[in-house]
Amino acid sequence: MGKHGPGGIPEARSECGSRFSAAAGIEHFEAGSSVNWRVIFYGTRISTAVLLAAVLCLAGCRSRQTASHAAGPEADARSYSVRGVVISANATTGEVILNGDAIPGYMPAMTMAYTLKQPSAATALHPGDTITAVMEPTAQANLLDQIDIVAQAKLDYVPGVTYNTLEPGEAVPDFHFLNQSGRMIGLGQFRGKVVLLTFIYTRCPLPNYCVRMSRNFAKIDQALRTDPKLYAKTHLLSVSFDPAYDTPKVLRSYGGAYTGLYTKETFTHWEFAAPPENELKKVLLFFDIGITPVGSQTITHSLSTVVIAPDGKLYRWYPGNEWKPEQVLADVAHLERGQDR
């Protein structure tokens, strides 16, 4: 455990010593890179990916990984290193005003407004903080990403909640969930299979976040159907962090739509479930999910997708939204090859 965020149910969190990034590669992955939204303070990296209903809000904690792997050469060609002192930061608008140093070959030192690529990163920025970042100029705004807080104006910030640092080989607890059929299921019952687990909530309005996770899982489910051997040795689980609204009936309707079988879906391979309210916090802390309700219908939240090996241990963690179904399918194939030896 080594990540921090403000107390209560894990929030879309601001964290002492963090980097916020909208693109970072998972190391040592043969099929490509994934995304990590992260925060770094004093050499401690903490990962959070956050979604604000109607606005992208990602703030997270994770060690290692750089944004350039996922961003690609075009993004690199249009990016500049920025350093400056925070004048103000607004998580609602996603704007930070920075008294910035000169950017050689681009602009002189000046105080100006920037748009945070992940708006909720503003919650970790305070007036007087010195930051470095990567600026990506666009026609609409100068976007800031990969923010490092290199000097804090206030040194007494104490996070209220500690998030798990997901590491390969870590044993995953036998969390229990209420599934779309109204039955309690536990992760332990899937020992011997590769479990693919992601987080969603059914009312999520943005296509690049919960919707993308569900579409990716639909593609994975369809691909696995073409290989009966892999299909029999895998199980997909989409977990909602909105158990009050995402009842079995709601999850059943939502899940049937994504599998394409609607009311005929049996959910034998891909299930949709939610933890009991009294277990929600533990689940979110372990899987590094921050949530903050926004109004009565939307939730600011991070993203987390994991591949759990047949022995119940973590094999791969994808903390963002840019991982591809092909990457996860490669993980499954690799684990299956290991089982066959």
Query: What integer pLDDT is reported at residue 17 of this predicted model?
Result: 36
Q: Read off the tokens for 256.
A: 């049937």
Q: Check if 3-161 and 167-340 are the same fold.
A: no
The neighbouring-strand residues paired with 60 are 48
Q: What is the CATH number of domain 167-340?
A: 3.40.30.10
233, burial (CB in 10 Å: exposed 0-12, middle 13-18, buried 19+): middle
pLDDT at 341: 57
Q: Collect the ranges in the chain with pLDDT lower than 70.
A: 1-77, 156-160, 340-341
| pLDDT for 170 | 97
Return the pLDDT at 12: 44
Instruction: Give residue limits of the domains in the chain.
Output: 3-161, 167-340
Could you tell me which of 204, 205, 261, 263 has the C-alpha nearest to residue 238?
204
What pLDDT, on the 0 to 100 scale, is given for residue 8? 46
Instruction: Give how far Cα 266 sits from Cα of 205, 247, 255, 272, 275, Å.
Output: 26, 17, 10, 11, 20
* Per-residue model confidence (pLDDT) at position 61: 34
pTM for the model: 0.63
Contacts (Cβ under 8 Å, ≥6 apart) of 341: none
DSSP 194-262: EEEEEEE-TT---TTTHHHHHHHHHHHHHHHHT-HHHHHTEEEEEEES-TTT--HHHHHHHHHHHHT-G
Q: What SS3 string covers 43-72?
A: CEEEEECCEECCECCCCECCCCCCCHHHHH
**Region 3-161: CATH code:** 2.40.50.320
pLDDT recorded at residue 340: 62
Does residue 40 contact residue 18 with C-beta atoms inside 8 Å? yes
